[in-house]
Copies of this chain bind each other. A is one copy, B any other.
Amino acid sequence: MTITPTGEALRRALDGPHHEVKQRWRAEVSADDMVRDPAMPLEQAREWALEKLVGLAERKFAIAGFPEEVGGQGTQAQSVAHFEMLAMGDLSLTIKSGVQHGLFGGAITNLGTQRHHLEYLPATISCERTGCFAMTELGHGSDVQSVETTITWLPDSSEFEVHSPTPSATKAYIGNAGQHGKWAAVFGQLVVHGENHGVHVALVQIRDDELNDMPGVTTGDQGHKGGLLGVDNGTITFDHLRVPREQLLDRYGGVDESGTYTSPIESKNARFFTMLGTLVRGRICVAGGAASGTRKALSIATRYGLQRTQFRRPGLGAEITLLDYQTHQRKLLPEIARAYAYGFAMNELSLALQRVSDAAGSDPRAARELETRAAGMKVALTRWANDTIQVAREACGGAGYMSSNGITQIRQDADVFATFEGDNTVLSQLVAKALLLDYKQTWGDLDLRGTAQATARMLGGTFLERTTARSLIDRLVTTASRQPESDKLRARGWHVQMFEDRERHVVEGLAKRMRAAGKLGADEAFAAINACQEHMLVAARAHTDRVVLEAFIEAIDHVDDPYINSLLVRVCDLFALATMEEHRAWYLEHERIDASRSKAITQAVDDLCQELRPVALELVEGLGVEERWLNSAMLDEAKPAEVTVELAS
């Protein structure tokens, strides 16, 4: 399959630090390795996913991030890149891998010690030891600290007893629990001599080699879902199940042979959030996976928009290509720009994960920033994925609804990304909390009233910190400030100022309201804080928008080829202006722009869509999804010739 030189160069730029890993996928992984027939029914889809996962693991494609001593190969950052590439094939397979290697394997890696690594990881990597990440319960999803499952120390036999005391303690929606999982990392309240030390994790065998439930374990199959048919979600309950002492993942807290609980972290809360924090990679991967699915949908819809014609040009006879219509450009081009923006921000996020991982606990502030960034990105990218894949589907009309054309399955699979690995509404509030408290508190370590009270204790001022390339951005801002008003629309420095201003104002306004609420009594405080919830969502979004824009700007700075650089500048302008257009009501309400500037922003988005339309094919090639993975019957072999557009400097 050919790709235009421009597409190739854009791909290299967008792959950034992960170009080599990603090229390996493109060179070695066929559609047969990872693209599912969308008509496959549930049972087959499950078998298919397990089989393909084993195949990819054998070929060392899903094992980055594990310790080298047990067969791992590649960094934490690279494990994110692998996940992103797998998600260009099939999201069921991706989540199957995420459950097995990312969550189950990640729990053992991060919450266990070397003993656990040596004993459990090799078979986990190869998928012989299929595993579940048994955190969520029927009664408690977002509120993990309230899970009801107990892990109780039995002094007489030096064992733990894992138990589900109520129906709502049933582990639910657990991947691999429906059918394939033999082991589970079970989250429960650790009770030692009557004292609750908070949530800990025990490894538990739930099924034997013939996949029969182990004694004391009852699994249930949750069956058909809105998508992700390749993942077997299910329920697990425990009836006074005994497990050996060694099966507690005790890196952050365990019970010694004498029956004494010890932990390197004294505070129960801090311990809990430290443990959860080590699992941040899952959220980063979900963001990246959602974006990959969206890139694929955009690739299909854009290629279709370039081949499909409808209605004749009045007086001229020829039928008009869909992508020549303003409405069609408006549907796809701003989203392609967002795909670039989010892609560059994902690269930066994966490197931040690597830094925090390398620091091994020595930089808690960086860890908290990472968790906040990961949460904000997860929210933004999964929301964008759901909305944009739908736009892509509709842009292909009835053809887009046929499963054989490749979009509907992505839409259905990506749907749940908005609520798993942290519900988006809840995560947004955690982001807002972190911004309010300037990352000074353990992440998540406060309820909302506590946050309000802590905010009230903090002095005023703004907490906005540039996330990257400060000098580069300062330079752009300075340049923009010297430009006449009329030229600012396309000045990246002005875009940064507008994004920063929005974030700062929204967070400061929120801080004022929270401070006031923090001074109220419990009853009134709930109402006052509750009334801030929508404000918190806006704050989280404004923060993430700014972080993404800065990542885009920094990435452009590293692109030496002048044509590709100038093309990416246009794409960045489109991202920035489309984002400002989306929020123009806010800018108008806060008198940051007047009515004519607001209309000019809309006009600029129209113009940029038209400017970039001739390179639409190259732009989607740059998104990096191999054509053979698109799995879309409606796309012709024939492709339009490469185009280079004249760009004003």
Contact = CB atoms under 8 A, between A and B. Distances in A.
Contact of A590 (B412, B533, B584, B595): B595
Contacts of A591: 595
Contact of A310 (B142, B315, B328, B400): B142
A400 B192 CA distance: 36
Contacts of A408: 225-227, 412, 415
Nearest to A403: B224
A25 interface: no
Which residue, of A325, A398, A584, has the highest number of chain B Cβ atoms within 10 A?
Answer: A398
Given A316-B522, A585-B588, A310 B398 contact: no
A54 B535 CA distance: 52
A591 B594 CA distance: 10
A295 B398 CA distance: 24
A131 B523 CA distance: 63
Contacts of A143: 310-311
Interface stretch (A205-213, A356-364, A444-452, A614-622): A444-452
A390 interface: yes
Copy tally for this chain in the complex stands at: 2
A381 to B, nearest CB: 15
Interface string A586-607: 0011110001001100000010
Nearest to A596: B589
Contact of A404 (B224, B404, B588, B599): B224
Contact of A142 (B41, B42, B311): B311
Interface string A365-405: 00000000000000000000010001001100111111110
A608 interface: no
A222 interface: yes
A326 B530 contact: yes
A222 B402 contact: yes
A223 B423 CA distance: 34
Contacts of A142: 310-311, 397
Contacts of A590: 595
A324 interface: yes
A534 B226 contact: no
Contact of A39 (B173, B223, B412): B223
A522 B420 CA distance: 53
A400 B418 CA distance: 11
Interface in A432-450: 447-450
B393 A325 contact: no
A78 interface: no
A165 B404 CA distance: 25
A522 B314 contact: yes
Nearest to A453: B314
Given A41-B41, A534-B606, A311 B136 contact: no
A313 B450 CA distance: 12
A173 B401 CA distance: 9
A595 B599 contact: no
Interface in A311-331: 311-316, 324-328, 330
Nearest to A400: B419
A630 to B, nearest CB: 16
Contacts of A577: none
B39 A226 contact: no
A393 B420 CA distance: 12
Contacts of A403: 223-226
A146 to B, nearest CB: 8
Contact of A401 (B226, B310, B325): B226
B397 A325 contact: no
Contact of A172 (B226, B311, B398, B537): B398
Contacts of A298: none
A415 B398 contact: no
A543 interface: no
Contacts of A224: 38-39, 402-404
B393 A226 contact: yes
Interface string A407-433: 111011001101110011100000000
A591 B142 CA distance: 43
Interface string A293-315: 00000000000000000111111
What 4 pairs between A and B have smallest CB-CB spacing?
A: A226-B408, A39-B224, A314-B449, A315-B522
Interface of A: 38-39, 41-42, 136, 140-143, 146, 172-173, 222-227, 233, 310-316, 324-328, 330, 386, 390, 393-394, 397-404, 407-409, 411-412, 415-416, 418-420, 423-425, 447-450, 522-523, 525-526, 530-534, 537, 584-585, 588-591, 595, 598-599, 606
22 contacts: A136-B398, A143-B311, A173-B399, A173-B401, A223-B402, A223-B403, A223-B404, A224-B404, A226-B401, A226-B407, A313-B522, A314-B525, A316-B523, A325-B530, A393-B415, A394-B418, A394-B423, A397-B423, A400-B419, A411-B415, A588-B588, A589-B598
